[in-house]
Amino acid sequence: MTTAGGYSNGTLDYQEMHTYAWDGAWASSSPILNDFSAYGLSKPLVVGEFNHMNGVSSESGSYLYQDIYNRGFAGAWGW
């Protein structure tokens, strides 16, 4: 980040990942199915993109935000 941003003190404060479902099933490594601790990371992790209606539930997807947070992630940005 120091090279790309031009700042001598540039650091990465958190990490971000995307997760998707295909054919109605989530990948076994998805944060929808795992706790943050399963990834072995030292920085906070934001679930930066997911489709809450793709094979998860016919209910409102709003429960996924709380579930992701309860699993230890720093937050979520669904689409």
Confidence class of residue 8 from pLDDT cuts 50, 70 and 90? Answer: confident
Among 16, 15, 69, 76, smallest CA distance to 51 is for 76
Is pLDDT above 90 for 78?
no
Q: What is the pLDDT of residues 21-66, one digit of tens each?
A: 665 556 677 887 889 999 999 999 999 887 655 444 444 556 778 8
Q: What is the mean pLDDT of residues 5-33?
A: 76
What pLDDT does 40 receive? 95
Among 72, 70, 33, smallest CA distance to 50 is for 33
What's the whole-model pTM score? 0.71
